[in-house]
Structure 1
Amino acid sequence: MPAAPPSDDILMEPVMRQHAAAFHALASDPAVSATTHLPSPFPPGHAEAWIDTAMGARAKGEAFHFAMLHPQDGFVGCCSLVALSPRARTAQLSYWVGRPYWGRGHATRAARWMLDFAFETLKLDRVRTCVLESNTASLRVLEKLGFEQVLRAPNRNPKFSLDDVLVFFERAPESDRRPDAPNP
C-alpha cells in the first residue's frame, strides 16, 4: 500500500518498523498520552511491539494503522481504523499527533483521508469514534469532518479523570448522511 497524499503537507503510509524511533519519541510525551490509550510512561520497545501487531492486523484486514508524515518533519503522528467489522461494515477511528505538531491541521487532514479510505476503499457504512469531552482539539476535528454525536457517557477508565465524559460520534459516507448534518 503506497503512501497517499491527503494534502500538500502530509502523507499517509502504513505504519512500519522504520517509524518506531519517532513514534516512541512523540508517544513518550505525557501530554500526548493524556488523552489517548498510549501508556505513560511509554515503555522501551513498546513502539516496535505495537508496530509489529499493527502490521499483523493490517495483513489480516483487521485494522489499518497509518503514519502521518510531513515532508520536512517526518513522522508526526498516527491515524487508525480499528475494531473493523466487515459484517457490520463499521470501524472505529483513532488518531494522535505529537505535541510539537499540534494546531497545524494534521489530525483533520489525516482523519479526512482515513474516512475516504474507509468509505471508498473498504466500503464501510459507518465510522465511529469517541473522545474525552475535555479533548477540545479532537472535538473540533470531528466537527469539521461532519461526525454526529450519538452518545455521552461517564468515563470509567481510571487512566483519565473520572469526572470527564466520553462523547461518542458516528459518521456515514456523504451519500448516506442526513440533509441537516454538518457538511465537512
Structure 2
Amino acid sequence: MNQSATSPKIQTERLLLRRFTEADAPEVSRLCDNYNLYKSTLNLPHPYPVESALEWIATHEESYTSGRMYEFAITDKESGTLYGAVGLSHQQVHRHGEIGYWIGEEYWGQGYATEAARAVLDFAFNEKGYHRVYARFFASNPPSGKVMEKIGMMHEGTQKEHIRKEGRYEDLLLYGILNPNRQ
C-alpha cells in the first residue's frame, strides 16, 4: 500500500498524524506486542506479530475510502518516530463515531494520546461534520479516561462487567462530547 499525495495528514504542535503504510508494520508489531498495552485495550491481540500488523494496515484504505473508519499513525513531526495510533469510527447515519487510541508503553505519560485525540476530535467535528464523538475505556485503565477528560469529554455512564478479558469481567466507562458547533 503506497501513501498517496492526497492522503490526509493532521499536524499538531509536536505530532504528525498520517496514514499507516506497510513499512510501519514492524514497529507497530514491536509496540503492540506488549502485555501492558494489551491488558489496557479493548481489541488489541497478544501476541502481536508483524503479520497481524500487516493485516490491520491492509484494512485501512477501504475503511478510509468508504468513510467507516479513519486510522492515523501518531508520529513525531520532526523525527518521524511512531508513537502509536488513533482511530475514529464513523456511523454516518447517526453522524457520530468512537475514538480510540494506543501509545507504545515507552512513550506513555508524555501527552501524545491527548494531543492526537484532540486533533482527531477537531477533524471529526470540523472536517467530517460529526454531531457526537464517544469513547470507552476499562475502569482498570484510568489514564485513558484522563485523556478523554482533557479533550473535553464527559463521563456518561458505566457498562458494568461489559467485557470479559483474561477470565474476568471489566467495567467499561463511557465518555462523550457533542460538537460545540452543532446545528
Normalising by structure 2, report the TM-score: 0.89
Please tell me whether residue 51 in structure 1 is matched to residue 26 in structure 2.
no
CA contact (8 A) 2:163 2:169 kept: no
Q: Could you tell me which residue of structure 1 aligns to residue 165 of structure 2? A: 159
Q: List runs of 5+ in structure 2 lacking aligned partners.
A: 1-6
Alignment counterpart, residue 120 of structure 2, candidates 104, 114, 118: 114
Q: Secondary structure at the match of 2:93?
A: coil
| Distance in structure 2 (CA, Å) of the matches to 1:21 and 1:174 | 39
**% identical aligned pairs:** 27
Q: Could you list the per-position Cα deviations for residues 2-39 of structure 1 after superposition, in whole angstroms to 9, with x for gaps in the alignment?
A: 432122x2110022222111111100011111111210
Q: Could you tell me which residue of structure 2 aligns to residue 14 of structure 1? A: 19
| Distance in structure 1 (CA, Å) of the matches to 2:136 and 2:57 | 22
| Distance in structure 1 (CA, Å) of the matches to 2:121 and 2:26 | 27
Q: Could you tell me which residue of structure 2 aligns to residue 3 of structure 1? A: 9
| Distance in structure 2 (CA, Å) of the matches to 1:135 and 1:90 | 24
Q: Could you tell me which residue of structure 2 aligns to residue 79 of structure 1? A: 86
What amino acid maps onto 1:33 in structure 2?
Answer: Y
Q: List runs of 5+ in structure 1 lacking aligned partners.
A: 177-184
What amino acid maps onto 1:15 in structure 2?
Answer: F
1:55-66, aligned counterparts within 5 Å?
A: 55-66=61-72
Q: Secondary structure at the match of 1:156?
A: strand
| Distance in structure 2 (CA, Å) of the matches to 1:135 and 1:161 | 17
Q: Could you tell me which residue of structure 1 aligns to residue 4 of structure 2? A: none
Alpha-carbon deviation of 1:146? Answer: 1.0
Alpha-carbon deviation of 1:48? Answer: 0.4
Q: How large is the Cα RMSD of the aligned pairs?
A: 1.6
Q: Residues 161 and 93 (structure 1 numbering): CA distance in 2 closer, same or farther, change over 3 Å?
A: farther
Count of equivalent residues: 174
| Distance in structure 2 (CA, Å) of the matches to 1:123 and 1:175 | 9
What amino acid maps onto 1:126 in structure 2?
Answer: R
Q: Residues 133 and 29 (structure 1 numbering): CA distance in 2 closer, same or farther, change over 3 Å?
A: same
| Distance in structure 2 (CA, Å) of the matches to 1:57 and 1:163 | 30
Please tell me whether residue 101 in structure 1 is matched to residue 110 in structure 2.
no
Q: Could you list the per-position Cα deviations for residues 91-139 of structure 1 after superposition, in whole angstroms to 9, with x for gaps in the alignment?
A: 1000000001000000000000000000001000000111011111111
CA contact (8 A) 1:35 1:160 kept: no
Runs of 4+ in 1 over 2 A off after TM superposition: 1-4, 155-158, 160-164
